């Protein structure tokens, strides 16, 4: 088949076929040494379509070449699966960014509660964590706490060091209320001190929780309050309780004290 006929069969433009040839992805079956005219074999149709689909998924050229040339089906499948995982992660980031932007462009009322809480004894797992590793650390810590405290006295919570956001690494303390907190593995008893809190409840999944953090921070600043300790998250209802994201409730609390006028 000439390049024009092959383009029509594969629904790929002549320009695209030439680009695939120049990149070494799809060599024509024959190139006329005088005219440079490219001809393709019918059995090359599936290969051209595979390349097109892989490039539609933004698979890098080197990875496309590796998929085409690898004799091992498992290796080919693994490369494609890794790329699909990257695309899923990118889609999740994009979805979260879009949701946050929509909330910022159409803000609702900011309801904040001032609340005084007593000191609480908890079972806790604490560590300095990189921001990128927060979810993995939280999952591991909760698994240990579930095993050590099968009947906690309340919902789980997290103490979040501001450095986690300002420099990308900070202390994270995952905890559950427990009157008699055990010492086992990484689990240790700890006291969360009494505090006056400014509390805002985040409703729904966590895609826009950064906006809720910002709303609370702005409210604290506007009401002449100073921050006095790490952020406290309390996961009243979350993925551990129900897959219905609309039912999720996360309290975000800032320990505060009023700044004197003088």
pLDDT at site 211: 86
- At residue 217's C-alpha, the angle toward residues 211 and 221, to 5°, is 145
Tokens 């680009």 locate to 19
Among residues 238, 42, 208, 227, the alpha carbon closest in space to that of 139 is found at 238
| Long-range pairs, 20-27, Cβ under 8 A, ≥24 | 20/48, 20/51, 23/61, 23/65, 24/65, 25/51, 25/61, 25/64, 25/65, 25/68, 26/51
Report the percentage of the chain scoring pLDDT > 90: 42
pLDDT at site 8: 84
Q: How confident is the model at residue 248 (pLDDT cuts 50, 70, 90)?
A: very high
pLDDT at site 47: 85
Q: How confident is the model at residue 260 (pLDDT cuts 50, 70, 90)?
A: low
The answer, yes or no, to whether residue 192 has pLDDT greater than 90, is yes
pLDDT at site 81: 81
- Tens digit of each residue's pLDDT (9 = 90 or more) over 144-161: 999 999 999 999 999 999
pLDDT at site 104: 65
Question: What is the average pLDDT score of the chain?
Answer: 87
Do the beta carbons of residue 161 and residue 170 sit within 8 Å?
Answer: yes
Read off the pLDDT of each residue in 240-245 and give the average, rounded to a whole number: 91
3-state secondary structure the chain: CEHHHHHHHHCCCHHHHHHHHHCCCCCCCEECCCCCCEECCHHHHHHHHHHHHHHHCCCCHHHHHHHHHCCCHHHHHHHHHHHHHHHHHHHHHHHHHHHHHHHHHCCCCCCCEEEEECCEEEEEEEEEEEHHHHHHHHHHHHHHHHHHCCCCCCCCEEEECCHHHHCCEEEEEEEEECCCCCCECCEEEEEECCEEEEEEEEECCHHHHHHHHHHHHHHHHHCCEEECCCEEEEEEECCCCCCCHHHCEEEEEEEEEECCCC
Read off the pLDDT of each residue in 130-151 and give the average, rounded to a whole number: 95
pLDDT at site 262: 44
- Tens digit of each residue's pLDDT (9 = 90 or more) over 15-26: 888 888 888 888
Residues 24, 28, 30, 36, CA torsion sign = negative
The answer, yes or no, to whether residue 64 has pLDDT greater than 60, is yes
Give the phi and the psi of residue 171 in degrees, each rounded to 5: -80, 140
Interacting residues of 8 by C-beta distance below 8 A, sequence separation 6+: none
pLDDT at site 172: 97
Read off the pLDDT of each residue in 245-258 and give the average, rounded to a whole number: 92
The residue ranking higher by pLDDT, 103 or 179, is 179
């Amino acid at each position: 088949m000439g390049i024009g006929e092959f383009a029509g069969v594969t629904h790929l433009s002549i320009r695209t076929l030439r680009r695939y040839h120049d990149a070494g992805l799809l060599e024509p079956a024959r190139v006329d040494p005088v005219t440079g005219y490219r001809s393709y074999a019918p059995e090359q149709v599936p290969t051209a379509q595979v390349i097109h689909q892989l490039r539609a998924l933004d698979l890098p050229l080197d990875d496309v070449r590796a998929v085409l040339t690898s004799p091992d089906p498992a290796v080919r499948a693994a490369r494609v699966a890794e790329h699909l995982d990257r695309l899923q992660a990118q889609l999740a980031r994009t979805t979260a960014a879009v949701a946050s932007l929509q909330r910022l462009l159409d803000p609702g009322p900011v309801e904040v509660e001032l609340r005084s809480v007593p000191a609480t004894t908890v079972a806790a797992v604490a560590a300095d964590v990189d921001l990128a590793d927060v979810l993995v650390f939280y999952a591991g810590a909760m698994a240990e706490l579930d095993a050590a405290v099968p009947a906690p006295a309340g919902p789980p919570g997290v103490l979040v060091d501001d450095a986690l956001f300002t420099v990308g690494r900070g202390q994270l303390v995952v905890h559950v209320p427990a009157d008699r907190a055990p010492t086992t593995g990484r689990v240790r008893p700890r006291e969360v001190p009494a505090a006056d809190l400014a509390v805002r409840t985040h409703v729904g999944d966590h895609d826009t929780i950064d906006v809720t953090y910002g709303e609370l921070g702005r409210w604290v600043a506007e009401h002449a309050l100073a921050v006095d300790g790490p952020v406290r998250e309390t996961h009243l209802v979350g993925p551990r309780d129900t897959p219905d994201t609309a039912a999720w409730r996360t309290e975000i609390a800032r320990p505060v004290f009023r700044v004197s006028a003088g």
